[in-house]
Structure 1
Amino acid sequence: MPENSKISPPDFEAVHARLREFPVQFRTEIHRIIVGQEEVLDQLLIALLCNGHVLLTGVPGLAKTLLIKTLANLFRLNFNRIQCTPDLMPSDISGVEILDENEQERRFRFIEGPVFTNLLLADEINRTSPRTQAALLQAMQEKQVTVAGKTYQLTHPFIVFATQNPIDSEGTYPLPEAQLDRFLFNVEMEYPSATEEAEIAVQSQTQSQEVNAFFDGSDLLKIQQLVDEVPIAPHVVDWIVQLVRATRPQDSSVEPIKKYVEWGAGVRASQNLVRAARAHALLKGDSVVSKEHVRYVAPSVLRHRIIVNFIGEAEQWTPIRLIELLLENHT
């Protein structure tokens, strides 16, 4: 289904009706494989419905890769995984042209890289070089790649889920702000509770990882169009814009922001807050976007867009602490 094609009213109603039952069905299926991580699941599902890229931060062993692969299976999406290493080259991601030679002719033939998929997992993205990280920029923003002067369109939908390890910084390359800003969410995965960890401990290693899919890629594109149709009142949009502007030291009236923030969130943060709040409202079955929908998604949208200065770091001010302060004061 082309990205820009409009769905007909009957398709609209059919997809919307199926979507009403989806949140319960989704949790039933995914919890056959994944234990706990309720909020993380909500955030990743919202990102899928927004066609937004996600940076997933968590220590090893929290089933990040399994979780993303299971999401792809639930929507019958093509899935590729890249293990990022320091020697990974841009061509290992986007693809390469080779000389194809036979008795009749010699010509260059393009071999697609793993980026030609629906859901791409870039595992430990901060372990690969800035040059290779930059190879994802065009794909994430423009849904296309350029190799040897030729431009190739990616399939729709195309979503990047990238993971990084927060505790092992040796031999890593922090993502530049320009690339961080292209991620809809920065989602942090925490350790499971004691009860959940006990359940994980007794799980069989040979347990089936099959799930029943409810939608396919074409359905997902229709749902993404439904997200764009969710009404949002002008005063809620104004509230979102003022919230984002309040993260910038030059525009904020909040003293810790003015004192401890180097750079605040850009315009793309306002766009992403609107998109994510609409998707959250749709999943909740609400007819319009409210401030509570925005409050729910705000930490994941803003966390990676606020840069704390050296004074703030010394006084243990973190982006999430500043966001919580903003949400308390922004009514």
Structure 2
Amino acid sequence: MTAREQIAALEDGMGRTIVGQREVIRRLIIGLLANGNLLVEGLPGLAKTRAIKALAKNLEADFSRIQFTPDLLPADVTGTDMLYRDGGKSEFRFHPGPIFANIVLADEINRAPAKVQSALLEAMEERQVTVAGNTHKMPPLFMVMATQNPIEQEGTYPLPEAQMDRFLMHVLITYPPVQDEVRVIELVRSEEIAAAQSSDDGSGSLDGNAAQTATPAPAAEVIPQQAIFDARREIADIHVSAAMARYMADLVAASRHPDNFSPELARWIEIGASPRGSIALDKAGRTNAWLEGRDYVDPQDIHAIIHDCLRHRLGLSFEAQGEGITANQVIDQLLENVALP
């Protein structure tokens, strides 16, 4: 299979266990192919962790989950040097922490204090970890996916702007439509029946209809890591015209000088996006174009991913927050006020 066919199979495999969140699945794949890190935010029970686990399950990759809590220490994330005694000799050896995996789930990242959150910074940006003066490289395929809950803010530690900026995209998960929620109920029920069937001792406690319902779907083919690297090489060759590059830069520049575009933007934006915002638009835009089967980037690719790339990079004014203006609304205004190429 070609790289595109393998990535399509990966997306399809994730869709078998994640119902009603196709956009979220697409964002996770874009982050993986763009070699970036993702911050996934949503209310409890919206399959944030399940979606990330589904990605790791359908990909030939080592998966690690770190549950962030207030008593977590940086060494619990990065690892530490431990003293070993062998043949009368003593030496320190590095014992790697859970950060040394291909896909790292930082669950409820805002539950741990800043010193623990900062333990991820070097790994996310430099793809390495320094412990006791020694540098340890991350694997070639490495991605941090952090989750956080937008409610229950008591006892949490909001991520600083510098760390938020290191996430390629900030993905929001919302409630599924009613028809999709019905499918969620049926999916979970079938998984429970299948689990009960597999543990049945053969006494026939499950009737024939239940057994038929519990028949598991064929296991999805695990996609090799090489498919990701092949896809990245093809994405690197996606054409970006000078006009499109200027369009991306203009969108980010408009967030820094909103008074040049509209009075509303001037009132709403206090801090604009950094150059990482432009880089994120370029990376995610090229990846979206590749997934859509094009060898060039056009405005619809930018419009498809701009909210995820910029919503966590904009600092809204107190006036905007008081009026209930969201980052998505501000980005919509940016799109309306910046001329298309």
**Residues 211, 136 of structure 1: CA spacing in aligned structure 2 closer, same or farther, 3 A cutoff?**
farther
- Aligned identity (percent) is 39
Matched AA of 1:93: V
Give 1:194's match in structure 2, choosing from 178, 183, 186. 178
Task: After TM superposition, give the deviation of residue 251 of structure 1 in Å.
Answer: 6.7
State the match for 1:296 in structure 2.
Answer: 304
Point out the structure with max Rg over C-alpha.
2
1:276-291 paired onto structure 2 within 5 Å: 276-291=284-299
State the match for 2:141 in structure 1.
Answer: 157
Deviations 1:183-219 (A, max 9, x none): 0000000111111111111223435698423532232
Tell me whether 174-183 or 321-330 shows the greater mean CA deviation. Answer: 321-330
State the TM-score, normalizing by the size of structure 2. 0.88
Task: After TM superposition, give the deviation of residue 66 of structure 1 in Å.
Answer: 1.6
Task: After TM superposition, give the deviation of residue 52 of structure 1 in Å.
Answer: 0.8
Give 1:256's match in structure 2, choosing from 245, 260, 264. 264
1:236-275 paired onto structure 2 within 5 Å: 236-249=244-257, 252-275=260-283
Give 1:44's match in structure 2, choosing from 17, 28, 45. 28
Output the CA distance in 2 between the equivalents of 1:30 and 1:176: 31
State the match for 1:54 in structure 2.
Answer: 38
State the match for 2:212 in structure 1.
Answer: none
Task: After TM superposition, give the deviation of residue 309 of structure 1 in Å.
Answer: 1.3
Output the CA distance in 1 between the equivalents of 2:73 and 2:118: 11
Say whether the 8 Å CA contact 2:258–2:269 is kept in structure 1.
no
SS in structure 1 of the partner of residue 49 of structure 2: helix
Give 1:111's match in structure 2, choosing from 85, 95, 112. 95
1:34 is aligned to 2:18? yes
1:102 is aligned to 2:86? yes
Deviations 1:113-167 (A, max 9, x none): 0111111000000000000000000000000001111111110111000000001
Matched AA of 1:89: L
Say whether the 8 Å CA contact 1:55–1:186 is kept in structure 2.
yes
State the match for 1:225 in structure 2.
Answer: 233
Matched AA of 1:326: L
Runs of 5+ unmatched residues, structure 2: 195-215
Give 2:242's match in structure 1, choosing from 226, 234, 238. 234
Task: After TM superposition, give the deviation of residue 69 of structure 1 in Å.
Answer: 1.2
State the TM-score, normalizing by the size of structure 1. 0.91
Output the CA distance in 2 between the equivalents of 1:209 and 1:57: 29
Give 1:81's match in structure 2, choosing from 62, 65, 70. 65
Say whether the 8 Å CA contact 1:76–1:213 is kept in structure 2.
no
Output the CA distance in 1 between the equivalents of 2:322 and 2:108: 27
**Residues 146, 252 of structure 1: CA spacing in aligned structure 2 closer, same or farther, 3 A cutoff?**
farther
Across the aligned residues of Structure 1 and Structure 2, the Cα RMSD in angstroms comes to 1.7
Tell me whether 191-200 or 217-226 shows the greater mean CA deviation. Answer: 217-226
Matched AA of 2:80: V
1:25 is aligned to 2:19? no
Matched AA of 2:31: A
1:126-205 paired onto structure 2 within 5 Å: 126-203=110-187, 204-205=190-191
Say whether the 8 Å CA contact 2:41–2:148 is kept in structure 1.
yes
Task: After TM superposition, give the deviation of residue 73 of structure 1 in Å.
Answer: 2.2
Output the CA distance in 2 between the equivalents of 1:27 and 1:102: 48
Say whether the 8 Å CA contact 1:249–1:263 is kept in structure 2.
no
Say whether the 8 Å CA contact 2:6–2:227 is kept in structure 1.
no
Say whether the 8 Å CA contact 2:3–2:227 is kept in structure 1.
no
Runs of 5+ unmatched residues, structure 1: 1-16
Say whether the 8 Å CA contact 1:54–1:160 is kept in structure 2.
yes
Give 1:326's match in structure 2, choosing from 298, 318, 334. 334
Output the CA distance in 1 between the equivalents of 2:119 and 2:226: 27
State the match for 2:206 in structure 1.
Answer: none
Output the CA distance in 2 between the equivalents of 1:134 and 1:100: 28
Tell me whether 251-260 or 107-116 shows the greater mean CA deviation. Answer: 251-260
Output the CA distance in 2 between the equivalents of 1:112 and 1:90: 12
Say whether the 8 Å CA contact 1:70–1:211 is kept in structure 2.
no
State the match for 2:205 in structure 1.
Answer: none
Deviations 1:302-324 (A, max 9, x none): 00000101111111121111001
Matched AA of 1:154: M
